[in-house]
Amino acid sequence: MITTPSEKPSSISNETRFFSLLNPARMIRSLYRNRELIWNLIKRELKSTYQASFLGGLWTIILPLLMLLIYTFVFSVVFQAKWSTSGGQESSQGEFALILFAGLTPFNFFSMVITRSPTLILTVPNYVKKVVFPLEILPVVIVGAAFITSLINVGLILVGRLLVFHSLPIMVLLLPLIYIPLILITLGLAWFLSSLGVFVRDINQAIPVLVQILFFVSPVFYSIDSVPDTLRFLIILNPLSSIIEGFRRILICNEFIDWGIWGVATLISALVAIVGFAWFSATKKAFSDVM
């Protein structure tokens, strides 16, 4: 039997449409077109987070400092953990706290967005059903809010470094570069998980567990060099490892980033962002059917 073009399975056209969505220009145009709306929603997101509390925006400083004190006490005081500096000397408690905070900052950025993504669309059913709204900007909004919070943490690190080392790192000028792969991979996964969370509700229970596992296989409170050779590949395969190490090299060690590793991390993160946006764009029309 001869199959005419009109009789070809619809899956072929769906696959063609998905691959057409992989064009990064579509993603860039969408973000640029809605840039003012994104910025207004980011400001509203930050304001709504703390507006009902007595201390307000001060919690963006208090919470990371409290977490830093707890982690520093547990690992530096209780477990007597040390960090070997570039000169081969063991770090002081103040240096250890800064090194730890430099690792926590990018990881908290990532985890803040990822743990919220599965329920992101589910919490705004009116946007899905009744309003013509660019749903693809919602993950961008929570990434933007997390980015601003992250910058506050970077400011705290710089203040702490000035107190401990009595100098500021000139390499901090390269910080925007190290944020690029972090933002791209976080945004790509946020697009994917926010869409998947509409169809698979159980994912909301699984993601916090997976993020916790990822925390322990990320070089947050230990260096990659301290991991046994037989297990080091697990840390290297973790896409956050190079980003965390990049933050430390810039903010603590005042060193250039490893350009080769940065280039690979940025390329992989860009691919994750493009695929995540394509997935979200291809599935968002079905949101209203399952909500």
pLDDT tens digits, 170-203: 999 999 999 999 999 999 999 999 999 999 988 9
pTM for this entry = 0.85
Give the distance from CA 129 to its chain's centroid. Answer: 28
Average pLDDT of the chain is 84
Per-position b or e across 138-173, b if 16+ CB within 10 A of its CB: bbbbbbbbbbebbeebbebbbebbeebeeeebebee
Encoded amino acid at 45, one letter: E
Closest CA to 137 of 18, 285, 49, 30: 30
Of 98-102, 125-129, 250-254, 274-278, which one has max mean pLDDT?
Answer: 274-278
258 or 131, higher pLDDT: 258
In degrees and rounded to multiples of 5, residue 107 shows phi and psi of -70, -40
Which sequence spans correspond to the domains of the chain?
A: 44-283
- Band (pLDDT 50/70/90 cuts) for residue 286 is confident
> Of all residues in the chain, what percent carry a pLDDT higher than 90?
44
Measuring CA to CA, how many Å separate 74 from each of 80, 85, 143? Answer: 8, 20, 30
Measured CA to CA, the distance from residue 92 to residue 138 in angstroms comes to: 42
- Please report the pLDDT score of residue 87 as a whole number: 54
pLDDT value of position 71: 72
Statement: residue 243 has pLDDT above 90: yes
CB neighbourhood size of 29 (10 A): 11
Distance CA 32, CA 246 (A): 28
**Angle of CA points 84, 90, 91, to nearest 5°:** 90
Residue 190 and residue 274 in contact, taking contact as beta carbons nearer than 8 Å: no
Distances (CA, A) of 160 to 38, 153, 289: 32, 10, 51
User: For tokens 């006490």, what's the residue?
Assistant: 73
Find the radius of gyration of the CA atoms of the chain. 21
**Residue 21: pLDDT over 60:** yes
3-state secondary structure of 90: strand
- Residue for token pair 């090299």: 249
pLDDT of 80 higher than 70: no
Q: Is the pLDDT of residue 2 over 70?
A: no
Residue 220 has pLDDT above 70, yes or no: yes
